[in-house]
Amino acid sequence: MLHREFRSGGAVRRALTLGAALFLLAGCAPVQSGPAGSGGDEKTGTVRVWLFDEANRAPKETVVNEAIAEFKATRPDVEVDVQWVPVAARAEKFAGAFNDPASAPDLAEFGNTDLAGYAVTGAFADLGADLAAWPEGKDIDPSVLETAKSGGKVYGLPWYTGIRALYYRTDIFTELGLRPPTTLAELTDTARRVRAKRPDLYGISVGGKYTYAMLPFLWAHGGEIAENDGTMWNATLNADRAKEGVTRYAELIKDDICPPAQCADFTGTQSVQAFAGGKAAMTIGGDFSRKAMDQGASKDKYSVIPLPGTEPGSVAPAFAGGNLLGVFRASMRRGLAVDFVQLLGSAKYQEKMYRAMGNLPTLTSVQRQLAANDPFLAPFVETLRAGTKFVPSTPAWSTIDSQNLLPTAVQQIATGAKEPSAALNAAAAAMNKAFR
């Protein structure tokens, strides 16, 4: 899922709806498996579609209705029925479809962090061959396509993605004679300098509960959350490189940067809100955070660069959140469902959806075109180009996420409740229990 600050749907979407939405983060409730259904390929009738509802649905609905009109123009014997699914109710809704294929739609929007749990039910069709044959399929960003895979199969067309980068206050940097950091170490030093000279500001607003800001530090230092040995996942969160990355991130949650009394409990939403409200000189925010920034005290006073890596010129790998469009195996109109998925996911409609909702496209040609005309997007597209990462593709991730294992470890390190080794060993042990 997108997990966006200030968005609802992406499952988590418009970030700013953010709170709730984008931070659906954690939510990918386990689902029950049931009969998948065999499906069919009827060429007439009604194509049933489930899409995530939005706090402000109108712009999204307008684009979807345009696509429906275009779709039906060449298919006079076809209707398209769209149901808007509240993100918070998705677990129950999808579980019902998995257990009773007759109640399932032909196609649905769902978050990529929900994919592993959904794939084990056998309810979704493998779209690998369909996307390979689709003329625009080769234009899908390779790293984003990976988020649509589970067990070597492709279960959805990546409809949009969400990437985070480093926001900074240009006026504060000018006032203090600072330059944007070129490494993570420089970022920490810059944040300390800001806090020392402007104690009314957080050097950078980050949080103990902001997992998607922490992960780039872990990955940039060469660590991984877990690794698959071919038979099962094994936690590597406590390995040396991962520990180094998590520890470096936790160092930002200190009195001389972002005091743990406030920041240890910050979520991503709260971290972004602090920056948007003029309380921080930097934050790690998404392309979907723009609306929040432009509605707050930081409007017209910020710029964005890719979050730097450990070496000058490098970019820290970002978490690639986002939503997919998948086809149910039980669909009696598989061909029509695939066609409609490809229409919604086409360059034409990805651009329209970006202009309507701010969704970052997954087709590289559209990314380049939009970034050329909108400099704000350039650092996010550059981050995508540098390569993104994802959480372990396993149903166990929903358990790990819901147990707050990573946030708890970060908070323990940041507050001094535990040494890094002890905190991460405990988290790794709990992760391995979930993996088994």
pLDDT > 90? residue 46: yes
Query: What values do phi and psi take at 258, rounded to 5?
Result: -140, 95
pLDDT > 50? residue 25: no
Which residue is associated with the tokens 């040494």?
419
Give 51-67 pLDDT, tens digit per residue.
999 989 999 999 999 99
Give 284-313 pLDDT, tens digit per residue.
999 999 989 999 999 999 999 999 999 999
Compute CA 323 distance to the chain's CA centroid, rounded to the nearest angstrom: 8
- Note the pLDDT of residue 187: 98
For residue 28, which amino acid is it? C
Q: How far apart are CA 24 and CA 20, in angstroms?
A: 6
Fold that domain 45-162+320-389 belongs to in CATH? D-Maltodextrin-Binding Protein; domain 2 (3.40.190)
pTM: 0.89
CB 100 within 8 A of CB 34: yes
Q: Other C-beta atoms within 10 Å of 45: how many?
A: 13
pLDDT > 60? residue 27: no
CB 354 within 8 A of CB 288: no
Give 407-416 pLDDT, tens digit per residue.
999 999 999 9
First to last CA, the chain: 24
Q: How far apart are CA 325 and CA 320, in angstroms?
A: 16
pLDDT > 90? residue 11: no
pLDDT band for position 7 (cuts 50, 70, 90): very low
Average pLDDT over residues 102-119: 96
Average pLDDT over residues 315-322: 96
Q: Give me the DSSP letters along 295-339.
A: TSTTTTSEEEEPPB-SSTT-BPPEE-EEEEEEEBTT-SBHHHHHH
Domain boundaries, the chain: 45-162+320-389, 164-318+404-435
Equal CATH topology for 45-162+320-389 and 164-318+404-435? yes
pLDDT band for position 37 (cuts 50, 70, 90): low
pLDDT band for position 1 (cuts 50, 70, 90): low
CA dist 274 → 186, 218, 220, 253, 267 (Å): 21, 23, 25, 14, 11
- Note the pLDDT of residue 328: 98
Average pLDDT over residues 194-198: 98
Give 385-401 pLDDT, tens digit per residue.
999 999 999 999 989 99
- Note the pLDDT of residue 31: 44
The answer to whether the Cα torsion of 261, 265, 271, 273 is positive or negative is negative
Average pLDDT, the chain: 92
CATH number of 164-318+404-435: 3.40.190.10
